[in-house]
Structure 1
Amino acid sequence: MLDVQFSSTLPRFAFGEYDEVILDGISYRPLESNEFGYTFLRTDRTSVAESFTHTVLSQRVAAGELEHRRDAFLPEHAKRRLRFPTQELSTLSLKQQQKAKYHESLVRAFLEMEAEGKVNRTEVSVKSALPEIKYRAGKYLSVPSEGDATQAGNNTKIIPEKISASRLLKRVAAFGRHGMASLYGQGGQGRRSRRLGPDELALLARTVRNYLTMEQPSVAQVVEDVDHAFIAENLRREELREREADGEKHGQSTRPLVMPSRETIRLEVRKLDPFEVDVARFGLDEARKRNAPVGKGLELTRALERVEMDEWKVDLLSLMAESGIWSILSEEERASFGLEEGKKARWFLTAAMCCTTRCVVAMKLSRTPSKRSAMQALDMIVRDKGVWADAVGTHSPWNMSGTPELIVTECGSAFIDFDTRVGATDLGINIDAGPAGMPEFRARIERLFGTMSNNFIGRFTGRTFSNTVVKGDYDAEARAALTAEDLSEALVRWVVDVYHNRPHAGLPNGETPRMCWNRLVGRYGVAPMPKLELRRKALGTRLERTVSQKGISVLGIRYHSEEFGRWFMHARDKEVRVRWYSEDLGAITVELDGKWIEVPSVLKRFRGERAQTWMMAVREIRASVAAQKKINQEIIFKAMTRIREINANAIARQGLFVDDYSKERIEKLEDEFIIGFEVDETPGTLRMQPASDGLGIDLPTAPSGTQTQRPAGDPDHAAPNNASEAAGAPNPFADPDADWSFGDK
């Protein structure tokens, strides 16, 4: 089972008219919905309609059995799939990642300067601004990511060199139409459109202006006008050629004109100035209404339509705890969270807020913001947060989850990181960084941090202040009393029980954020959580491994499958790329010859287990059975079960802190901690216990009349291993793949 505890309030999902929903390998389109559920229509020739209740859909999403592809049947998306990669961008080759990052840095630098009014979309303007564009692009290009050919050192900026003004403008236009997929440059190579000469372009530009009339002709009508104009012009030129053959001199070109395609004409129409189009087609007053700036702000109607995400340096000094979760962590594990014995520290909070409902949908605490904090916050947005709420005993559910349509961030290195942006794109989320130095573009999340500082942090001793004048004689370090674990628990309690249930001035009729969320989700729904396999590829740690006959091992867990073994027999290069997800150790995703496949762990019981629980179990086992060369499955899973039972709430409270399971830390753990640790993967066997008097063995027998006769050789009814099992306790290790639990059934 996954380490997830769902809220009592079930979500209602939102599926659009052009979305594709895949259940049990069958493709559907949404037909209609009501308060009970959805009716889907199969996309194959049968066109069979099937109905699913909201409860069933919620269960299928939680089990990872439903795949949602937003706008998959829109014509624009269908065309995009022909031109650009259809697989997840984060799984493309390292060379493609490197090129895409290079182009994105220049595009983002251009858009940044365009927003400041320092450049416009003409070659003359871009040529004069190229030095500054390249310099600004270095800020994005220097942030390390997986596809980098060389890593920039400390205080080293990589400045792009090869770019022309015309090429940059084309990249900017493509990015505006198709997003990050256009930067990978697949599909369009080798297909060049026909070149139109000056005569064709001049006639095309004149005829396209037929669109600018009060009769409001359609684009199709303009296409007909252009076709007729070119046919008439070619007939006229043919007549001129006949006269020229008779000796008449006229001094005009007689070359036949190339007919433009329908797409070329449509693009020419789109190049027309929008305000000029509205004036010509609707009149000046209507054009002013359509194009005048609106001072009302964002018009949002649905939950998760826009999410703002930012970082805040918490105005509070906290102590390292001496009990709770920190007491069961090793020194190395404490250091991974940025904690040092006896030191007082300030934390950074990476938070995300639904702008429509003002609900907090993610919070992560870290000592230093990084792409790990940003990507783990993305993961928290889409997941149900009941496990964190229940761990601290909140009175209200924290059921705000789903896939956002747009995330707006600030320009910190964690958010402009290329891997973060590619991961969000793969999850189906548009992500955009607001203008640097202009927090008003993220006004809602900035206001949340102000509310936290005044209404939440102000209640604790150890508070810090923005300047020495406000601080006065207050000694924050001497008065620090709140532990890091207390801070995590207090944050969850305040957000879920206080902030979400307090009337918000920005919501209509004094609604609370929780009431607004429930109302809008009940009316419009939300996009469901992405599948586990997709989250693993998009957000998982990127590793490289050499495949052996035993498969691949990560943190002492072996992964193998039949398909993987067949590939190994014929592959020359055994080095592969891997995606490893710390929230589920039951499988990894591996790239084999350009195709990504899921490879399960050899022991199925690792499904749904978190890396933190496993590492704590490894430490406990090594301390107790250090002399054993191979560790029995029974020992491992008893230790993991004990950790979950004793420290379940402590581990859940720790879930608000950013885990450091980077590539470098995994390598360090394997070199220093996992080395020599080997799991015995053979099924559990019957072990005869010595007799109490030291003579022979005791043969356990069932009490008379309490057990029925078992068929011989039945694997589901293996003989008990000891006297306690003979008394009726289950033996979960008789079959390593059987369902198992501890305690009475």
Structure 2
Amino acid sequence: MIPATDPNGAPLRIGPHDAVSIDGVAFRKVGDSPDGHVFQNTLTGLHEGFGHAQLAALSMAGRVEFKANAFGAISVRTQMTAGATAFADLPLDHQKKVAWYLEWITEFLKWEAAWYAENADKPRRERSGPEPRSNAGIAQALEKIGQTIQARADARTRPPGKDGEPAQPRKPRAGSPAAGYNGPSVETFKTHLENYEAAGRNALALRPKTNRCGNRKPRFHPEVERILQEYAAQYAAEHKRSKALCHRKMRAALNALNDARVADGLAPYPVPSDKTLARRIDALDMFLVEAKRLGVDRATRKHRFIQGQAEAIRPGQRIEMDEWKLDLFFLLSQTDLLADLSDEQLADLKKRRWFLCVAIDVATRCIVGMRVDQTASVRNALSTLEMVVSDKAHLAAAAGALSSWQHMALRPEDVVTDSGGSFIAEDFHLAVIGLGSTHDIPPAGLPHLRGTIERLFKTLSLQLVREFTGQAFSNKVERGDYPAQERASITVEQFVLLAVRYALDIYHLTPHAGLGGETPADAWTRLTGHYGILPVPGRNERRSVFGLRLTRTLGRHGLQIMGLDYRADVLQVLYLKRGKIQVDIRLDPLDIGAISVAIDGTWHEARAATSGFDGVRLADHRALCEMLAKRFADQAALTQPIVNEALRTIGARATAAEKAAHFLTRFAEPEDIARAERSLRDFTIPTDADFAGRTAANPLDGVIPTGGAPYVGPPDTPPPAVPERRPNRSRPRPAQPDAGSTPPRKPPIVDLED
């Protein structure tokens, strides 16, 4: 409620660079009117007018906060240099030091003004003393004003007399030394005077620089730091160990490590003191420590005040995404995931740090998307966003997690990212809009506006990355002489699976201070039950938003992508009307059983003409084509059981690298498809109609008839009809031998696992 205005209230003098806050809302002045000021809300950008009488009444009520020249360039630079926005924000000892220097400068400026007033009209040789700003002038001034300042300092330390004035100083005892000069030197005074005037006479420019002193380099070797963090974490346990006990256990572990180093001829590591371990323990999350030592209920009751109004109240209302350059070097995997890279690329990859892209729901603190790539790429960001709207039960199973990830899929209302290249790219922006969501990009340099995802990365760094050797740390200075690349101990495929397990089995099940002690998994269950979630996109909508953008020519057999035909009634009607035309296609790399085709601005679904490809990944299909093309020179020998068995063989690969491929960005660009199609130019997968006229072979027997042998079947049984081959779709079929020629050879034995 605005207090009653006083028509006689004095108008407030507010400049365009002054900061004004009314009832906690920040404003800045953008204009004047005869009756008051026009302010702009710094958060919303909206303008609002305040009359002089209204502002005066608000100021008298204590509801106006004012900082003069807060937005001025010189003032802002001074605040950055001083590390504070106001004099009152400085520590008390610094305030006293600034006041002492300011007293000397003020007295000098008064002395200087008096000197110029006295000598303004006098010739230079008749002036009383040297120039005030010369070294001799400053020395003379400091000597004169020093007595006055020293007398004030002495008076401040004396207790007041009966009349309230400071008591008279005592006479110095006989033989005691006389008090000498106790002021700043000439050079020091000149430096402070210049800084003070350059800052527009802002007292913050006089702050001592002692707050920047000290050695900020890491004190301990990374191996010692790891042990230090490990035993600091043991303090936060139900055993309720004391800090002294944790230090004894840490000292014993380091002594054992040092014994081994001495035996190898290496110097032992220094053992951190108990105070060092105590500081590491004090740096732990207070709520997490007490939740583990006292129980979640007691910790929640004790810290209930930390529950505040969240930035989002319902699941999906705000999804924060960001990419993080992992502070870890990885071993190269021995799988086909890196088979296409040259030796130079592999050598460069050993030095490269991978990027982790994560999406988190702010209301529940649940991780709803996680992908890894070699670089910060828009494809990695799109894949992470697609995970947000997709069921992830199979991904949790691939990682071996015990907790479910099945129902943590939703359509976001607002996607918040930074202004990195992966997120401001047109493809990502269009995908967010295609989901019906809002893409919010806070101003650069303000990470606290995306505090949830930033805090998550710090948690992952401290609780997950620190468990592995080969850490890169944040910079070379922090890394020191630590041989990070030589100490790499895990592949990126192993790491991403462990990261998913950590997210599901540890992070989602740990009491969270931002949720008032509730775990993210429980918060998801509670909030989704209360608010519900927006339905996720269907298969056709998901392909139209996230699918690879391809262009193909429509033909009699529909559309062909990597040897697979796709057909639909709408394509047949379109072909009859317009013939062979180029159409836009969207292909989901994780499910090639169907594609989306754009016809007159509407997306239609076209399904693969060969059954069994629902849920097959594009990378698996490429491996299938290479396998079958290598073993079957004549594609007419293919039957549906052979293709199905080959698909099962490829899909049954269960190595860690194959499981991790779900979280790695691979084979996901139109150029990759074009390159694969060139290598498989002469190979196609027959359709269900082609399979219908062929004799089904049992792939488990391994007997596969070839095109060069005549048909051998039961007596009096005519050979099966072979469908007419489509022109220009495969290699020419070998000519059939004449009757009476050499008997056919025994068909070869083919192992699909080879």
Q: TM-score scaled to structure 2, two decimals?
A: 0.51
For the structure 1 residues 468 and 588, does the alpha-carbon distance in structure 2 shift closer, same or farther, using more than 3 Å as the test?
Answer: closer
Q: Deviations over 1:197-223 (max 9, x none)?
A: xxxxxxxxxxxxxxxxxxxxxxxxxxx
Cα pair 2:376 2:422 within 8 Å, conserved:
yes
Cα pair 1:631 1:677 within 8 Å, conserved:
no
For the structure 1 residues 595 and 517, does the alpha-carbon distance in structure 2 shift closer, same or farther, using more than 3 Å as the test?
Answer: closer
Aligned residues: 423
1:320 aligned to 2:332? yes
Q: Which residue of 2 aligns with 1:433?
A: 441
Q: Which residue of 2 aligns with 1:306?
A: 318
Question: How far apart are 1:659 and its partner, in Å?
Answer: 2.5
1:613 aligned to 2:625? no
Separation of aligned partners in 2, 1:331 and 1:341: 15
Cα pair 2:361 2:367 within 8 Å, conserved:
yes
Separation of aligned partners in 2, 1:413 and 1:570: 43
1:675 aligned to 2:681? yes
Question: How far apart are 1:663 and its partner, in Å?
Answer: 1.5
For the structure 1 residues 668 and 439, does the alpha-carbon distance in structure 2 shift closer, same or farther, using more than 3 Å as the test?
Answer: same
Cα pair 1:319 1:342 within 8 Å, conserved:
no
Separation of aligned partners in 2, 1:678 and 1:414: 36
1:403 aligned to 2:415? no
Q: Deviations over 1:246-282 (max 9, x none)?
A: xxxxxxxxxxxxxxxxxxxxxxxx99956779x99xx
Q: Deviations over 1:1-40 (max 9, x none)?
A: xxxxxxxxxxxxxxxxxxxxxxxxxxxxxxxxxxxxxxxx
Q: Which residue of 1 aligns with 2:399?
A: 392
Question: How far apart are 1:410 and its partner, in Å?
Answer: 0.7
Cα pair 1:629 1:678 within 8 Å, conserved:
no
- SS where residue 545 of structure 1 aligns? strand
Cα pair 2:431 2:546 within 8 Å, conserved:
yes
- SS where residue 353 of structure 2 aligns? strand
Separation of aligned partners in 2, 1:424 and 1:658: 19
- SS where residue 524 of structure 2 aligns? helix
Q: Which residue of 1 aligns with 2:470?
A: 462
Cα pair 2:554 2:580 within 8 Å, conserved:
no
Q: Which residue of 2 aligns with 1:349?
A: 356
Separation of aligned partners in 2, 1:486 and 1:402: 28
- SS where residue 479 of structure 1 aligns? coil
Separation of aligned partners in 2, 1:698 and 1:573: 45
- SS where residue 579 of structure 1 aligns? strand
**What letter corresponds to residue 675 of structure 1 in structure 2?**
R
Question: How far apart are 1:424 and its partner, in Å?
Answer: 1.3
Separation of aligned partners in 2, 1:594 and 1:428: 18
- SS where residue 550 of structure 2 aligns? strand
Q: Which residue of 2 aligns with 1:414?
A: 422
Question: How far apart are 1:578 and its partner, in Å?
Answer: 1.5
Q: Which residue of 2 aligns with 1:589?
A: 596
Q: 1:506 aligns with which of 489, 514, 521?
A: 514
Separation of aligned partners in 1, 2:428 and 2:696: 55
Question: How far apart are 1:648 and its partner, in Å?
Answer: 7.9
- SS where residue 464 of structure 2 aligns? helix
For the structure 1 residues 318 and 565, does the alpha-carbon distance in structure 2 shift closer, same or farther, using more than 3 Å as the test?
Answer: same
Separation of aligned partners in 1, 2:678 and 2:420: 33
Separation of aligned partners in 2, 1:516 and 1:670: 47
- SS where residue 534 of structure 1 aligns? helix
For the structure 1 residues 272 and 680, does the alpha-carbon distance in structure 2 shift closer, same or farther, using more than 3 Å as the test?
Answer: closer
Q: Which residue of 2 aligns with 1:443?
A: 451
Q: Which residue of 2 aligns with 1:207?
A: none
**What letter corresponds to residue 681 of structure 2 in structure 1?**
I
Q: Which residue of 2 aligns with 1:559?
A: 566
Cα pair 1:630 1:680 within 8 Å, conserved:
no
Cα pair 2:350 2:485 within 8 Å, conserved:
no
Separation of aligned partners in 2, 1:387 and 1:549: 37
Q: Deviations over 1:488-540 (max 9, x none)?
A: 111111111111111112111x1111111111112222112111110110111
Q: 1:517 aligns with which of 511, 520, 524?
A: 524
- SS where residue 421 of structure 1 aligns? helix
**What letter corresponds to residue 684 of structure 2 in structure 1?**
E
**What letter corresponds to residue 357 of structure 2 in structure 1?**
T
Q: Which residue of 2 aligns with 1:602?
A: 609
**What letter corresponds to residue 474 of structure 2 in structure 1?**
S
Q: Deviations over 1:574-598 (max 9, x none)?
A: 1222111112212222222333322
Question: How far apart are 1:630 and its partner, in Å?
Answer: 6.9
Cα pair 1:319 1:345 within 8 Å, conserved:
no
Separation of aligned partners in 2, 1:676 and 1:637: 21
**What letter corresponds to residue 500 of structure 1 in structure 2?**
H
Q: Which residue of 2 aligns with 1:376?
A: 383
Separation of aligned partners in 2, 1:297 and 1:450: 23
**What letter corresponds to residue 367 of structure 2 in structure 1?**
V
Cα pair 1:382 1:529 within 8 Å, conserved:
yes
Q: Which residue of 1 aligns with 2:647?
A: 640
Separation of aligned partners in 1, 2:586 and 2:551: 9
Separation of aligned partners in 2, 1:499 and 1:434: 26
Question: How far apart are 1:486 and its partner, in Å?
Answer: 0.9
- SS where residue 369 of structure 2 aligns? strand
Separation of aligned partners in 1, 2:655 and 2:493: 14
For the structure 1 residues 296 and 522, does the alpha-carbon distance in structure 2 shift closer, same or farther, using more than 3 Å as the test?
Answer: closer
Cα pair 2:641 2:696 within 8 Å, conserved:
no
**What letter corresponds to residue 436 of structure 1 in structure 2?**
A
Cα pair 1:320 1:340 within 8 Å, conserved:
no
Separation of aligned partners in 2, 1:465 and 1:271: 40
Q: Greater relative contact order (Cα 8 A, min sep 6): structure 1 or 2?
A: 1
| Larger mean Cα displacement after TM superposition, 485-494 or 641-650 | 641-650
Question: How far apart are 1:653 and its partner, in Å?
Answer: 2.5
**What letter corresponds to residue 301 of structure 1 in structure 2?**
I
1:543 aligned to 2:543? no
Q: Which residue of 1 aligns with 2:270?
A: none
Separation of aligned partners in 2, 1:480 and 1:650: 17
Look at both structures and tell me which one has the larger radius of gyration over its CA atoms: 2
Separation of aligned partners in 1, 2:657 and 2:390: 19
Q: Determine what percentage of the aligned residue pairs are the same residue.
A: 33
Separation of aligned partners in 1, 2:585 and 2:604: 10
For the structure 1 residues 411 and 676, does the alpha-carbon distance in structure 2 shift closer, same or farther, using more than 3 Å as the test?
Answer: same
Q: Which residue of 1 aligns with 2:503?
A: 495
**What letter corresponds to residue 319 of structure 2 in structure 1?**
V
For the structure 1 residues 660 and 271, does the alpha-carbon distance in structure 2 shift closer, same or farther, using more than 3 Å as the test?
Answer: closer
Separation of aligned partners in 2, 1:465 and 1:386: 33
Separation of aligned partners in 2, 1:620 and 1:603: 17
- SS where residue 411 of structure 2 aligns? coil
- SS where residue 506 of structure 2 aligns? helix
Alignment of 1:53-132 (within 5 A): none
Cα pair 1:633 1:679 within 8 Å, conserved:
no
Q: 1:666 aligns with which of 660, 673, 676?
A: 673
Question: How far apart are 1:448 and its partner, in Å?
Answer: 0.8
For the structure 1 residues 633 and 695, does the alpha-carbon distance in structure 2 shift closer, same or farther, using more than 3 Å as the test?
Answer: closer
Q: Deviations over 1:102-161 (max 9, x none)?
A: xxxxxxxxxxxxxxx9x9999xxxxxxxxxxxxxxxxxxxxxxxxxxxxxxxxxxxxxxx
Q: TM-score scaled to structure 1, two decimals?
A: 0.51
Q: Which runs of 5+ in 2 are unaligned?
A: 1-25, 32-43, 67-306, 698-702, 704-709, 716-754
Separation of aligned partners in 2, 1:391 and 1:342: 25
Separation of aligned partners in 2, 1:344 and 1:622: 36
Cα pair 1:348 1:366 within 8 Å, conserved:
yes
| Larger mean Cα displacement after TM superposition, 430-439 or 532-541 | 430-439
Question: How far apart are 1:307 and its partner, in Å?
Answer: 0.9
Question: How far apart are 1:449 and its partner, in Å?
Answer: 0.7
Cα pair 2:558 2:565 within 8 Å, conserved:
yes
Q: Which runs of 5+ in 1 are unaligned?
A: 1-116, 123-269, 700-745
